[in-house]
Structure 1
Amino acid sequence: MNIAQRIKDLRLSKHLTQKELAQLLNVKPTTISGWELGRNEPSIDTLKDLAHIFNVSVDYMAGDTENQNKDKKSIDLEKDPVVLSYGGRPVSDEDMEVIKAILERHKNDGDIHYE
Structure 2
Amino acid sequence: MTTLDRIKKISKEKGWSLQTVAEKAGIGKNSIYRWGTKTPTTENLQKVAKVLDVTVDDLLGLEKNEKPKKVDIDDDDVLMTFEGRPIPDEDLEIIKRLLRGAKDERSH
2:41 equivalent in structure 1: 43
Q: How many residues align?
A: 71
**C-alpha separation between the residues in 2 aligned to 1:28 and 1:16?**
16
Q: Does 1:7 align with 2:7?
A: yes
In structure 2, how many angstroms separate the alpha carbons of the residues matched to 1:14 and 1:34?
A: 21
> Which ranges of structure 2 fall in alignment gaps of 5 or more residues?
72-108
Q: Supply the distance in 2 between the matched residues of 1:50 and 1:42 (Cα, whole angstroms).
A: 10
Give the structure-1-normalised TM-score: 0.50
4+ long deviations beyond 4 Å: 73-76
Q: Partner of 2:30: helix, strand, or coil?
A: helix
SS at structure 2 position matched to 1:30: coil
Corresponding position of 1:30: 30
What are the ranges of 5 or more consecutive residues in structure 1 without an aligned counterpart? 68-72, 81-115
Aligned to 2:54: 56
What's the RMSD between the two structures over aligned residues? Answer: 2.4
Letter of the 1:54 counterpart:
L
Aligned to 1:16: 16
CA-to-partner distance for each residue in 1:30-51, whole Å, 9 max, x for gaps? 212212xx12132111111222
Query: What is the alpha-carbon distance in structure 2 between the residues aligned to residue 21 and residue 45 of structure 1?
Result: 15
- Structure 2 CA distance for partners of 1:34 and 1:62, relative to 1, 3 Å: same
Deviations 1:49-101 (A, max 9, x none): 22222222221111212x5xxxxx7648x949xxxxxxxxxxxxxxxxxxxxx
Between 1 and 2, higher relative CO (CA 8 Å, sep ≥ 6) is seen in: 2
Greater radius of gyration (CA): 2
- Pairwise CA distance, 1:17: 1.6
SS at match of 2:31: helix
Change (3 A) 1:39 1:74: closer
Report sequence identity in percent: 24
Q: Compute the displacement of 1:6 (Å).
A: 0.7
**Is 1:3–1:41's contact at 8 Å kept on the other side of the alignment?**
no
